[in-house]
């Protein structure tokens, strides 16, 4: 009897008792508390992805540094006071 479930009238027509939905329990958690130290699977996955991205970026920078050439200036005293670049 769907019509009796949707009715706002009293339970005059039938002797069926309509059960009230159970009230949701109120959350007793304080939303202002910092919970960043607690384990969180999504946060761990995000950190792991960020770590992998940073490792990849670091490796690319290191490869670029290794590929670049260095210019070394030798400075010594031989009486003439000049610098020679190789």
Q: How confident is the model at residue 73 (pLDDT cuts 50, 70, 90)?
A: confident
pLDDT bucket at 84, cuts 50 / 70 / 90: low
When pLDDT is averaged across residues 8-12 and rounded to a whole number, the result is: 57
Spatial separation of the C-alpha atoms in residues 1 and 34, rounded to whole Å: 50
Contact present, 13 and 2 (Cβ < 8 Å) = no
Confidence band for 50, pLDDT divided at 50, 70 and 90: very high
- For 13, which DSSP code? S
Share of the chain above pLDDT 70, in %: 62
CA end-to-end span of the chain: 97
pTM above 0.75, yes or no: no
Residue 17: pLDDT band with limits 50, 70, 90: low
Give the Cα separation of 52 and 54 in Å (integer). Answer: 5
């Amino acid at each position: 009897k769907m019509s009796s479930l949707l009715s706002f009238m009293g339970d005059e027509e039938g002797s069926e008792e309509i059960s009230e939905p159970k009230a949701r329990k109120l959350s007793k958690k304080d939303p202002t508390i910092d919970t960043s130290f607690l384990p969180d699977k999504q946060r761990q996955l995000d950190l792991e992805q960020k770590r992998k991205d940073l490792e990849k970026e670091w490796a690319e920078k290191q490869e670029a540094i290794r590929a670049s050439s260095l210019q070394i200036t030798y400075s010594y005293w031989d009486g003439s006071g000049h610098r020679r670049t190789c």
